[in-house]
Amino acid sequence: MRLLRFLLLVLVARPLAVLMTGADVSGRERLPLKGPAIIAANHASHVDTLLMLAVFPSRAVSKLRPAAAADYFLRDPVIGWFSRHVIGIVPVARGKAADGEDVLAPARAALAAGEIVLIFPEGTRGDGESDEMGQLKSGVARLAEAFPQAPVIPVWIQGAGRVLPKGASVPVPLNCAVLVGEPVVWTGRRGGFMDALRAAMLALKAQAPPLRWSEEP
Amino acid sequence: MDFADWIGRAQAFLAAKPPALLAGLGGVVILLGVASAITAVLPLLKPGKSFEELRLRIASWWGMVALLAGALLLGWQATTAVFAFISFLALREFLSLAVRRREDRPAILAAYGCLIAAYGFIVADRYMFYIVFIPVWVFLGLPALMALIGQTRGYLASAATFHWGLVTCVYNLGVVAFLMRVPDSEPLPAGAAGLVFFLLLATEFNDVAQYCWGKLVGRHKILPKVSPNKTWEGFIGGWITTAALIWFLGPVFTPLSGLGLAIVAFVLPAAGFAGDVTMSAIKRDIGVKDTSHAIPGHGGVLDRADSLTFTAPLYFHLLALFGLQKF
């Protein structure tokens, strides 16, 4: 299964991502090659996950586990199987936190096993109407607190929301840029950590090529 | 089949190609070899200065030369496939930067469809279809589709953006592949591939010559508002050097001579410059330095092919007028 996943990612996902988005990565050398490590990226489209799996160096891609909403990706057995075994998701039970459930347990287990967890702290894809970053949820800080030795690498993905916005079913090839930043260090306080992560992601956004869809023509 | 058989087959494959084309490709390989040797020596002569960008640039040149030389040697099918892909990359870069309205997503998809259709006419060898398809039918059809989408805010600018991108990235680059369809019955000194080779050689030589002249003796800025690194010295030096190259090597690769060749030698370098500064003006308008990072050391595909989008149709039409029966 691991080999199948690797071959699908390298031989299918990667050419597909290059064809659809150009997969223009800067700072690729900052991507972690061993876990535990956390990657925090903005989220505008399903293309975000495909793109991160595609740009990851081959020797580390087997360790990459995208965190994904259990209510969305595990609701149907076929998509669920594909999500678990090919995309390699760690399920996050959104909205179950109130019931006292530890929604981050699968992600924590993956980190403890030395894997690299890709997390979208906005919690959901943006609505496509604006290219601003949404509110960041603090789950990423709780993971960083649990694994203070794990680097948290901020990533900005520019343009994936144009290739396949929320609600669209047909992807359109357009260039996307992936900007990888320097790791954010766990400071011992969730608030300070979240502010630093947010600032790092916005700094990457400022370096990205312009996305003129958000402006008035 | 063992190794010796493969060598024998490769020799037979190359022996069937026009000698002038092989000599031309060999010449490019030697030129690049010299450039690589210089970049290997430069850090020793001037320690402390970084030549990484130059090294990347030349490494990418090797890749581009290998791709295009391979396509030209394999024939029209491979060349058409490579240029269709170059057009796709260029168009994707252009639309990614230039289109402003999110409502135009269906029009972007349609634009890629137009690309496939235009290259389909090259595969089918239907010249009359090709020459009217983008300039007339897509010119009318795409804006009509955009009217059906129903967003009128910024409509005219957006329709014009699509047309500009399709003509430069698809129609103008496609004629390069179409040159490969000239039959061997025409008097071609280096085959149809020689025609394409010579266009690519002259265009890229002009880019490099203008850059080198500008670096060596450039003083007076030619278009500071659009392209601040371009100088009169680079422009004129490149023009004269490229015109001389076209005049002396033109008869080796093309059926041109006399007046036709003189006109190509005179106008092609200027067209290359015009393509370069036109794309610079667009990039400056959008607020980017490069159209992407697809080619290390060069920027995007459009950064490399900008001059070709102007020289290709010019060369094609002058060849059609002075040297070819097919077009």
Q: What are the pLDDT digits (tens) for B48-85?
A: 788 888 899 999 999 999 999 999 999 999 999 999 99
- A147 vs chain B: nearest CA distance in angstroms? 35
Cβ contacts (< 8 Å) between A157 and chain B: which residues? Answer: none
- A105 vs chain B: nearest CA distance in angstroms? 39
Interchain pair A172, B93: CB under 8 A: no
Average pLDDT, chain B: 94
Interchain pair A173, B286: CB under 8 A: no
Per residue of chain A (217 residues), what is the pLDDT tens digit?
A: 788 889 988 999 999 999 999 999 999 999 999 879 999 999 989 999 999 999 998 888 889 999 988 888 888 888 888 888 888 889 888 776 666 678 888 899 999 999 999 999 988 887 656 677 888 888 899 999 999 999 999 999 999 999 998 888 999 999 999 999 999 988 888 888 999 999 999 999 999 988 887 665 5
Name the percent of chain B lying above pLDDT 90. 81
Q: For residue B2, what pLDDT band results from cuts at 50, 70 and 90?
A: confident
Mean pLDDT across B184-191: 92
Please identify which residue in the block is written with the tokens 């690498």.
Answer: A153
Residue B183 confidence (pLDDT) above 90? yes
The pair of structure tokens assigned to B325 is 């029966």
CA distance B214 to B234: 4
What's the confidence (pLDDT) of residue A100?
A: 66
Q: For residue B86, what pLDDT band results from cuts at 50, 70 and 90?
A: very high
Q: Which of A129, A157, A172, A180 to mutate to test the interface with B (most CBs of B within 10 A)?
A: A172
**Partner A contacted by B317 (CB < 8 A):** no
Interchain pair B92, A174: CB under 8 A: yes
- A159 vs chain B: nearest CA distance in angstroms? 8
Q: What are phi and psi of B139, to 5 degrees?
A: -55, -35
Q: Where are the domains of chain B?
A: 77-181
Interchain pair B99, A168: CB under 8 A: no
Name the percent of chain B lying above pLDDT 70. 100
- ipTM value of the model? 0.90
Start-to-end Cα distance in chain B: 43
CA distance A94 to A111: 19
User: What is the chain B residue with the closest CA to A213?
Assistant: B100
Q: Which of B96, B116, B298 to mutate to test the interface with A (most CBs of A within 10 A)?
A: B96
The pair of structure tokens assigned to B291 is 């159209």
pLDDT in tens, B96-140: 999 988 899 999 999 999 999 999 999 999 999 999 999 999 999
C-alpha torsion sign, points B275, B58, B22, B174:
negative
Cβ contacts below 8 Å, chain A against chain B, sum to: 60
Q: Where are the domains of chain A?
A: 2-95+102-209
Interchain pair A162, B102: CB under 8 A: yes
Q: Within 13 Å and on the Cβ side, how many CA atoms surround A74?
A: 14
The pair of structure tokens assigned to B323 is 């040297």
Cβ contacts (< 8 Å) between B292 and chain A: which residues? Answer: 22, 24, 175, 209
* CATH 3.40.50.1000 is the classification of domain A2-95+102-209: no
Closest CA to A41 of A95, A144, A117: A117
Interchain pair A174, B108: CB under 8 A: yes
Is residue A94 helix, strand or coil? coil
**Partner A contacted by B293 (CB < 8 A):** yes
Cβ contacts (< 8 Å) between B154 and chain A: which residues? Answer: 217
**Partner A contacted by B302 (CB < 8 A):** no
Mean pLDDT across B280-301: 91
**Partner A contacted by B116 (CB < 8 A):** no
Interchain pair A24, B294: CB under 8 A: yes
Q: For residue B180, what pLDDT band results from cuts at 50, 70 and 90?
A: very high
Instruction: Measure CB to CB from residue B100 to each of A159, A175, A217 and give the nearest one.
Output: A217
What's the confidence (pLDDT) of residue A216?
A: 58
Three-class HEC string of chain B: CCHHHHHHHHHHHHHCCCHHHHHHHHHHHHHHHHHHHHHHHHHHHCCCCCCHHHHHHHHHHHHHHHHHHHHHHHCHHHHHHHHHHHHHHHHHHHHHHHCCCHHHHHHHHHHHHHHHHHHHHHHCCCHHHHHHHHHHHHHHHHHHHHHHHCCCCCHHHHHHHHHHHHHHHHHHHHHHHHHCCCCCCCCCCCHHHHHHHHHHHHHHHHHHHHHHHHHHHCCCECCCCCCCCCEHHHHHHHHHHHHHHHHHHHHHHCCCCHHHHHHHHHHHHHHHHHHHHHHHHHHHHHCCCCCCCCECCCECHHHHHCCHHHHHHHHHHHHHHHCCCCC
